[in-house]
Amino acid sequence: MGRKASLHRQPGNGLLTASIDKIFEESGAVLHGHFLLASGRHSPVYWEKFRVIQDPCSTVKLCGMIAEHYKSKNVDVVAGPTTGGVVLAYEVARQLGVCCAFAEKIDGGRTFRRGVAIGSGQRVLIVDDILSTGTSVRDVIAAVKNEGGQIVGVAVLVDRSDQSFDLGVPLFACLRSATVSYGPDVCPLCLDGLPLTKLGGI
């Protein structure tokens, strides 16, 4: 089971962690079983972020936390990866009064298409939904740097990573709830014979 984040106030907003946790629990976003993550790792807990994102009221609240946290950072563009990151980038950008952009998958990473461009020197905030291994966030970081953008930070709805890692930029999470995951070759759930469930865009 995922370890619940301790009760505390997030910097710069009035929402308690317990209230954020409740948004995910009541939406049915926190699933328990044996799941294949986008990273290829296995986990007993899966965060189905679209059950939260489909609710505009919850999305506005969570994106408001991110916007509040970065409102003094002179953000020019909010960028996110497809697919969930598109909705979050739009709403955070709307609340900050700036433009949004989204990075699409290509072989070996992500890039900005469809006439979307990051201007050289623009200050970019990267947003994503669930942080597990950081792969999609790192791909967006690389895409922004390739365009000459300056990254001011990364923000996610949930940081579920079970080990610390350095993205090279400040990280803000609406909710921190470390959740164990396993390599498929050492997964105890596989050894117990539990069926593996594939969800999301995997």
Q: pLDDT (tens digit, 9 = 90+) per residue, 152-164?
A: 999 999 999 877 7
Distance in angstroms (rounded) separating the CA atoms of residues 52 and 65: 15
pLDDT band at 15 (very low <50, low <70, confident <90, very high): low
Nearest to 37 by CA among 102, 104, 134, 108: 134
Mean predicted confidence (pLDDT) in 67-92: 97
Q: What is the pTM of this model?
A: 0.84
CA distance linking residue 120 with residue 85, whole number of Å = 22
17-198, CATH topology level: Rossmann fold (3.40.50)
Distance spanning both ends of the chain, measured CA to CA: 22
Q: pLDDT tens digits, residue range 131-152?
A: 988 999 999 999 999 999 999 9
Q: How far apart, in whole angstroms, are the C-alpha atoms of residue 178 and residue 194? A: 22
Q: How far is CA 134 from CA 22, 61, 73, 99, 104, in A?
A: 24, 23, 22, 24, 16
How many whole angstroms separate alpha carbon 176 and alpha carbon 193?
A: 30
pLDDT at residue 108, as a whole number: 86
Answer yes or no: are the C-beta atoms of 78 and 67 closer than 8 Å: no
